[in-house]
């Protein structure tokens, strides 16, 4: 089956998620909004899952909403604040996930970032100084390069401006300590080994937000998501140390063994599981296919979905190479041997790709 190195897109399902889902199918299949006995049992399972997830997020259970996925959570956050505050302008970093950028639409102000991907807090403060601003969005950490954002500083600026702050914490939940100071926080269960189609949106009490629509709740899937989150949270500190060491080995080895390469992102304040590097004179899509044939499933920070060849807006905003990029993102099933096999074949594959174009 090869080695899966794309945990930033979706973690492999955690074993406890499958167990919890199958168990919940027996007791959680009924509509939790009804009053008869099977429905009450489904409601109990849903409430228990809500409490478990809320505890990990540092929220109250009544502040937590389950949605139809991470994108749905983002869309509800933005639409709900706009409706409640009767304002439309969204201030967000230039490196937010496309879900945030699409939800904000044309009525948005993008805040620049540094070469390592960290938001410019001075520019954020300036952008917030407008009565038209509905909200701000600053991710906890970047999904392409792993750079951790100064959310505490952004939250202080938002408080001073009287603007609610949305934090997309999809890459952080279950992996690292979550930031504080947010008004709304969103995430996706498939990023922590839960099932796809389950998102979370926490809205602090006192935040002006009106739920724009109600997403259907799949109780067994929510129970599975909560079980997976509890499991990865329990393993988080150990896994963070192990994966961070592997990422550091990738960063150092790639820089030493692949000519004309740039390892991008913040070298210190970064997530423990993501590393992205840019190879000059390389078509990123061709390299990804070559790696796939060699048994390594990786993603790219450049042109990177199956249906588009658009360069990465994240890397463009950082001012680094937007083609020839590889993103490696690790998870608990990845071993040291897996990483070292990847590092052993990578230089030759890059050389082969370059040779094909005469470089």
Co-location of 224 and 264 in the same domain = no
The alpha carbon of residue 32 and the mean position of all alpha carbons in its chain are separated, in whole angstroms, by 29
How do beta strands 274-279 and 165-168 pair? unpaired
Residue 279 appears among annotated catalytic residues: no
Co-location of 169 and 240 in the same domain = no
Q: Which of 232, 263, 283 is the last residue in one of the domains? A: 232
E runs forming strands in the chain? 3-4, 64-67, 89-93, 108-111, 133-137, 165-168, 184-188, 199-203, 261-264, 274-279, 296-297, 325-329
Average pLDDT, the chain: 94
Least confident stretch, 111-115, 125-129, 354-358: 354-358
Co-location of 179 and 274 in the same domain = no
Bridge-partner residues for 141, per DSSP? 148
- Enter the pTM of the model: 0.94
Least confident stretch, 32-46, 251-265, 309-323, 340-354: 309-323
* Eight-state DSSP code of residue 305: B
Compute the average pLDDT of residues 314-334. 93
Co-location of 96 and 127 in the same domain = yes
Residue-wise pLDDT tens digits, 43-54: 999 999 999 999
Co-location of 240 and 344 in the same domain = yes
Co-location of 224 and 242 in the same domain = no
Residue-wise pLDDT tens digits, 218-232: 999 999 999 999 999
CB 253 within 8 Å of CB 66: no
Report whether pLDDT(329) > 50.
yes
Compute the average pLDDT of residues 333-356. 96
Q: What helix, strand, coil percent values describe the chain, rounded to 5?
A: 45, 15, 40
At residue 301, the pLDDT reads 62
Co-location of 108 and 220 in the same domain = yes
The contacts of residue 327 (CB under 8 Å, 6+ apart) are: 6, 8, 144, 145, 274, 275, 276, 298, 299, 300, 301
What b/e string do you get for 256-274 counting C-beta neighbours within 10 Å, with b at 16 or more? eebeebbbbbbeeebbbbb
At residue 304, the pLDDT reads 41
CA 257 – CA 76 distance, rounded (Å): 45
CB 171 within 8 Å of CB 274: yes
Catalytic residue among 290, 304, 314, 321: 304
By C-alpha distance, which of 286, 278, 357, 287 is closest to 322?
A: 278
Report whether pLDDT(157) > 90.
yes
Co-location of 138 and 200 in the same domain = yes
Report whether pLDDT(306) > 80.
no
Our count of domains for the chain comes to 2
Compute the average pLDDT of residues 17-41. 93
Range of the domain at 76: 15-232
List the CATH number of the domain containing 24: 3.40.640.10
Co-location of 255 and 116 in the same domain = no
Report whether pLDDT(324) > 70.
yes
Co-location of 124 and 228 in the same domain = yes
């Amino acid at each position: 089956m090869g080695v899966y190195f794309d945990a930033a897109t979706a973690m492999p399902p955690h074993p406890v998620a499958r167990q919890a889902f199958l168990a919940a199918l027996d007791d959680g299949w009924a509509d939790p909004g009804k009053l008869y006995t099977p429905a009450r049992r489904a409601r109990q399972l849903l409430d228990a899952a809500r409490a478990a997830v809320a505890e990990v997020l540092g929220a109250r259970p009544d502040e937590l909403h389950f949605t139809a996925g991470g994108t749905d959570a983002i869309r509800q956050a933005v639409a709900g604040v706009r409706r409640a505050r009767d304002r439309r302008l969204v201030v967000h970093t230039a490196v937010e996930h496309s879900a945030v950028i699409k939800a904000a639409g044309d009525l948005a102000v993008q805040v620049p970032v540094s070469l390592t991907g960290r938001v410019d807090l001075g520019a954020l403060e300036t952008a917030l100084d407008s009565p038209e601003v509905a909200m701000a969005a600053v991710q906890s950490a970047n999904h392409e390069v792993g750079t951790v954002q100064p959310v505490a500083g952004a939250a202080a600026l938002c408080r001073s401006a009287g603007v609610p702050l949305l934090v997309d914490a999809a890459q952080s939940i279950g992996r690292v300590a979550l930031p504080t100071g947010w008004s709304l926080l969103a995430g996706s269960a498939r990023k922590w080994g839960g099932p796809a189609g389950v998102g979370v949106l926490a809205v602090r009490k006192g935040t002006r937000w009106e739920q724009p629509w109600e997403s259907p709740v799949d109780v067994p899937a929510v129970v599975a998501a909560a079980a997976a989150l509890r499991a990865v949270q329990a393993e988080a500190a150990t896994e963070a140390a192990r994966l961070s060491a592997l990422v550091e080995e990738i960063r150092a080895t790639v820089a030493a063994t692949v000519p004309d390469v740039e390892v991008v992102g913040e070298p210190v304040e970064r997530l423990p599981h993501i590393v992205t590097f840019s190879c000059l004179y390389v078509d990123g899509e061709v390299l990804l296919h070559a790696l796939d044939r060699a048994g390594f499933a990786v993603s790219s920070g450049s042109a990177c979905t199956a249906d588009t060849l658009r360069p990465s807006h994240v890397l463009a905003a950082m001012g680094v190479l937007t083609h020839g990029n590889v993103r490696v993102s690790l998870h608990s099933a990845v071993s040291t041997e897996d990483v070292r096999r990847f590092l052993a074949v990578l230089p030759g594959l890059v050389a082969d790709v370059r040779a094909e174009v005469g470089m």
